[in-house]
């Protein structure tokens, strides 16, 4: 049996556990420092076994996945370096920053074990084992950060195991990882939070802000609801990269102010034009980056019960709906519903069914 230990069975750790559990020859052990969490992991059935003993979880493991917040990663690598791990054990992590943990894994003597950093580029604003899903990593990119000291054989063993996630594996050096992911993930999270807090401030004096906030605001701010502790650690860990990115961001904001002050309509058009072109080239269906789910949009008349009707149509056809959002709905004006599914197959079936039922549905 190949023993896989998962430290921190939350959104990411739980989703990995679900990818591995029940696969022939694999057994999955969950570790938490809290008894109540261990009980929850067992109750939800995401692991074969769970324990609060770090030693029990780690010893004899062929693979150890550290899925705790970034601020706790180095402390766990250090704790593991003090144990008698199985020779050839691969320690990996899923942290959203890679340079500091990779440096720690390299610096410490791991007594026959190896550290290879990892980061699945998939996730959600939700957290905890309750949000874990078998399909979270499907078609997403999963970054590995081996270095010159990583053996080809160890890397291959980890890659072979990660096949169960159905993600696309890519290798990147840890410094480039932090620069790129800082720009495409950490900066957007800061912007979303700053934007929500700006509007929250206005809303304190006038509740209409909250009431009128529709599709645009919701789309750009979904990630502002992400876990505060997880994101505190990510931002602090990648602060040098982020301080530089924030300077560049200030430049972008300033450019807009200049365009408005000088009534430069051409420049505004061009800004939207170039942004639209770049965005439309982004590959669709990459979960965790732009699309976290498989979505379609349905035009609906604004009358009571319509959402219930659509949900029960899908339910009767055994199509699993994972989310439903009202994008727009005003009196006497048709609204738009966004329906989200976890798989392409569910999306295709739902679109076919709703089209047959007479709804206008599009992607």
Ligand X SMILES: O=C(O)C(=O)C[C@]1(C(=O)O)C=C[C@@H](O)C=C1
Ligand Y SMILES: NC(=O)c1ccc[n+]([C@@H]2O[C@H](COP(=O)([O-])OP(=O)(O)OC[C@H]3O[C@@H](n4cnc5c(N)ncnc54)[C@H](O)[C@@H]3O)[C@@H](O)[C@H]2O)c1
The residues binding ligand X (CB under 6 A) are: 96, 121-125, 185, 223, 226, 288-289, 292
Using CB under 6 A as the binding rule, whether residue 118 contacts ligand Y is answered as no
Using CB under 6 A as the binding rule, whether residue 174 contacts ligand Y is answered as no
**Full DSSP string of 144-170:** EE--TTS-HHHHHHHHHHHGGGTPEEE
Nearer to ligand Y, 124 or 145 (CB): 124
**Token reading at 23:** 């696969």
| Smallest distance, ligand X to C-beta of residue 14, A | 15
Report how many helices (DSSP H) and strands (DSSP E) the chain contains, helices first.
Answer: 15, 12
Each residue of 240-258: b (16+ CB within 10 Å) or e? Answer: ebbeebeeebeeeeeeeee
| Smallest distance, ligand X to C-beta of residue 140, A | 8
Using CB under 6 A as the binding rule, whether residue 10 contacts ligand Y is answered as yes
Nearest-angstrom CA–CA distance, 129 and 108: 30
Nearer to ligand X, 27 or 96 (CB): 96
Q: Give which of ligand X, ligand Y, none residue 289 binds (C-beta under 5 to 8 Å, depending on kind).
A: ligand X
Among 29, 64, 67, 140, binds ligand Y (CB under 6 A): 67
Cβ–Cβ < 8 Å for 137, 19? yes
Using CB under 6 A as the binding rule, whether residue 58 contacts ligand Y is answered as no
Q: Give which of ligand Y, ligand X, none residue 223 binds (C-beta under 5 to 8 Å, depending on kind).
A: ligand X
26-45 binders of ligand Y (CB under 6 A): 32-33, 37
Among 16, 50, 68, 241, binds ligand Y (CB under 6 A): 68
Q: Give which of ligand X, ligand Y, none residue 128 binds (C-beta under 5 to 8 Å, depending on kind).
A: ligand Y
Task: Count CB atoms within 10 A of the CB of residue 340.
Answer: 18
**Token reading at 48:** 């074969």
Nearer to ligand X, 85 or 192 (CB): 192
Each residue of 164-176: b (16+ CB within 10 Å) or e? Answer: bbebebeebebee
| Smallest distance, ligand Y to C-beta of residue 130, A | 9
CA distances to 42, 226, 246, 298 from 125, in Å: 24, 4, 22, 24
Q: Give which of ligand X, ligand Y, none residue 69 binds (C-beta under 5 to 8 Å, depending on kind).
A: ligand Y
Nearest-angstrom CA–CA distance, 68 and 37: 13
| Smallest distance, ligand Y to C-beta of residue 33, A | 4
* Burial class, 24, CB count within 10 angstroms (exposed 0-12 / middle 13-18 / buried 19+): exposed
* Burial class, 302, CB count within 10 angstroms (exposed 0-12 / middle 13-18 / buried 19+): middle
Among 105, 117, 118, 123, binds ligand Y (CB under 6 A): 123
Q: Give which of ligand Y, ligand X, none residue 292 binds (C-beta under 5 to 8 Å, depending on kind).
A: ligand X
Residues in the site for ligand Y, rule: CB under 6 A?
7-13, 32-33, 37, 67-70, 72, 94-96, 119-120, 123-124, 127-128, 227, 230, 234
């Amino acid at each position: 049996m190949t023993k896989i230990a998962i430290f921190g069975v939350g959104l990411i750790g739980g989703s990995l556990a679900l990818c591995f559990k029940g696969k022939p020859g694999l057994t999955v052990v969950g570790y938490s420092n809290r008894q109540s969490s261990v009980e929850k992991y067992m109750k939800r059935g995401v692991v074969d076994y769970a324990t609060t003993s770090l030693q029990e979880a780690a010893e004899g493991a062929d693979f150890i996945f550290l899925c705790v917040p970034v601020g706790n990663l180095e402390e766990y690598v250090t704790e593991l370096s003090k144990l008698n791990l199985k020779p050839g054990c691969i320690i990996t992590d899923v942290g959203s920053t890679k340079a500091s943990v990779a440096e720690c894994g390299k610096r410490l003597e791991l007594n026959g074990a190896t550290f290879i950093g990892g980061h699945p580029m998939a996730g959600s604003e939700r957290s905890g084992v309750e949000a874990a899903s078998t399909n979270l990593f499907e078609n997403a990119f999963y970054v590995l950060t081996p270095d010159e000291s990583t053996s080809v054989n160890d890397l291959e063993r980890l890659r072979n195991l990660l096949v169960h996630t159905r993600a696309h594996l890519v290798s990147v050096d840890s410094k480039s990882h932090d620069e790129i992911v800082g720009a495409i993930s950490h900066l957007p999270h800061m912007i979303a939070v700053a934007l929500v807090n700006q509007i929250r401030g206005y809303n304190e004096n006038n509740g209409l802000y909250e009431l009128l906030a529709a599709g645009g605001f919701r789309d750009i701010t979904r990630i502002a609801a992400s876990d505060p502790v997880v994101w505190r650690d990510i931002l602090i860990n990648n602060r040098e990269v982020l301080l530089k990115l924030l300077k560049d961001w200030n430049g972008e904001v300033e450019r807009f102010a200049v365009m408005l002050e000088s009534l430069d309509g051409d420049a505004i058009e061009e800004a939207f034009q170039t942004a639209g072109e770049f965005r439309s080239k982004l590959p669709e269906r990459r979960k965790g980056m732009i699309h976290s789910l498989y979505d379609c949009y349905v035009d609906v008349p604004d009358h009571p019960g319509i959402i219930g009707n659509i949900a029960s149509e899908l339910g009767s056809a055994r199509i699993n709906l994972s989310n439903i959002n009202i994008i727009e709905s005003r009196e006497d004006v048709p609204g738009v519903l966004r329906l989200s599914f976890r798989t392409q197959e569910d999306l295709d079936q739902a679109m076919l069914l709703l089209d047959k039922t007479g709804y206008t549905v599009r992607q």
